Structure 1
Amino acid sequence: MADHLTGVTPELLDDRRLIKELEALHRTRHDTLLYGSAEALRTHSDRMSALEGEYLRRHPRRTPLAGRTREGARARTAARPVEA
């Protein structure tokens, strides 16, 4: 069911729409943090959490990219040349 403040319930979205909703929220996150009201940020955070939770529920065994893990990030940092 749609709600004008919170959007469609994440469980009712098909995979394509779920990804589009997540992309839109991630795109607007920074501006909401910097310029939105406390209520807007709270609403944004709640929606993002609900959508991300639904994505993880649907894809519990997804394989993260090696570079997106802590170990991969450390390897990336170690590979950078040290600036003098």
Structure 2
Amino acid sequence: MSGIDPVRLTEAQLLKELETIHRTRHDTLLHGSADALATHNVRMAELEGEYLRRHPRRPVAAGRTREGARAREC
């Protein structure tokens, strides 16, 4: 594992880590080595998993559901 265990992060630290990893995703995909991308994938999954564990009932925007996407297409 790379970085601090997400369970040990404060809410502010977790959000900062998520912002950073999402911001760097595109460059890692386009220009990173296979190992860098694999590490990025693992860390992103860890951080996102912890966020979802902490916020199982987070609000979901209607437009981000299948039904909402279908409504946008019409």
Q: What interval of TM-score do these two structures reach, taking the shorter chain for normalisation? A: over 0.9
| Count of aligned residue pairs for this structure pair | 74
More helix as a share of residues: 2
Unaligned runs of 5+ in 2: none
Q: Which has the larger radius of gyration?
A: 1
The answer to whether the aligner puts 1:25 opposite 2:21 as a matched pair is yes
Residues 18-41 of structure 1, C-alpha deviations (whole Å, 9 max, x = no match): 011111111111110111000000
Percent identity, please.
66
**Matched residue SS, 1:8:** coil
Alignment-derived partner of residue 13 in structure 1? 9
Instruction: Determine the structure 2 residue equivalent to 1:81.
Output: none
Cα RMSD for the two superposed structures: 1.2
Any gaps of 5 or more consecutive residues in structure 1? 79-84
Runs of 4+ deviating beyond 3 Å = none
Distance 1:77 1:56 in 2: 28
Aligned to 1:48, the other structure's residue is in SS state: helix
